[in-house]
Copies of this chain bind each other. A is one copy, B any other.
Amino acid sequence: MNILIFCEHHQDKYEPVSLVYPDTMHRTLGSIFEGNNVRYATLDDINESITEEILADTDVMFWWGHHKHNDVPDEISELVAGAVMKGMGAVFLHSSHLAKPFRRLLGTSCTLRWQVTPDLSENLWVSAPYHPIAQGIPAVLNIPHEEMYGEPFDIPNAEDIVFMGWFSSGNVFRSGVTFKRGYGKIFYFQPGHEEYPVYHDEVIRKILSNAASWAKGDVRREGFDCPNGSGI
């Protein structure tokens, strides 16, 4: 598989995040896919690392953004959304619910309720045990420290709700949801606040590995046209 991982690579340059992800967040995610062809993109190099050619050669793209959504050029967002519609898989992580290409593909505001406090924990429940992304995943995973994301989550109705999150603050959330847009499969996954070592967790890494296998498309198309004629 050809994997492309975009992270802002802003906060993980500095403490305290750099202490959690000393090898950067994007390389920590990339190490899930050892043996595959993994490429990286960050805000530092986004115009060179996310191009139409690279996307056409990518099976599944991961996207992690949090504080710098507006630093992503609209043209890049359009390229990513277009690649998904052509058949590239996409996994949007954590605060990427507000990432430009995610909102572009879903068509809604993707807003939610949130809270960060040091003692907040999450139980991540499998709600679709039949789903490929849930295979090998325990019925519930306790994440000792996580940012709370809560309902209502302003998304179109998901195809499948693979995970649901319980938060010690008293909130609930559709924490793992799938969508289709054109030829492309999309998975949104809520865990991954940068101050906590979520992407070091073996269960989380297994989920993301499953997600890549699931999101890899069956077929790609070249572009979008409205052919004239009956086609018969």
- Which residues of chain A have a CB within 8 Å of any CB of chain B? 81, 85, 87, 98, 104-109, 111-115, 123, 125-132, 135, 139-140, 142, 148, 150-154, 156-157, 159-161, 164-167, 169-172, 174, 179-184, 217-219, 221, 224-232
Judge whether A166 and B171 touch: CB under 8 Å.
Answer: yes
Judge whether B180 and A130 touch: CB under 8 Å.
Answer: yes
Copies assembled: 4
Q: How far apart sit A46 and B63, CA to CA, in the bound complex (Å)?
A: 37
Given contacts A166-B172, A219-B129, contact A108 B151 (CB under 8 A): no
Q: How far apart sit A113 and B127, CA to CA, in the bound complex (Å)?
A: 11
Chain B contacts for A171, CB-based, 8 A: 123, 125, 166, 230-232
Chain B contacts for A131, CB-based, 8 A: 218
Chain A: interface secondary structure?
loop
Judge whether A108 and B182 touch: CB under 8 Å.
Answer: yes
- The 8 Å CB contact of A172, one of B123, B128, B129, B217, is B123
Q: How far apart sit A229 and B116, CA to CA, in the bound complex (Å)?
A: 8
Q: How far apart sit A104 and B100, CA to CA, in the bound complex (Å)?
A: 12
Judge whether B125 and A172 touch: CB under 8 Å.
Answer: yes
Judge whether B85 and A109 touch: CB under 8 Å.
Answer: yes
Please name the residue on chain B nearest to A219 by beta carbon: B135
Chain B contacts for A140, CB-based, 8 A: 170, 231-232
- Looking at the assembled complex, report how far the CB atom of A155 sits from the nearest CB atom of chain B, in whole angstroms: 9
- Looking at the assembled complex, report how far the CB atom of A87 sits from the nearest CB atom of chain B, in whole angstroms: 7
Judge whether A169 and B127 touch: CB under 8 Å.
Answer: no
- Looking at the assembled complex, report how far the CB atom of A31 sits from the nearest CB atom of chain B, in whole angstroms: 25
Given contacts A224-B109, A228-B115, A231-B113, contact A154 B170 (CB under 8 A): no
Chain B contacts for A156, CB-based, 8 A: 156, 179-181
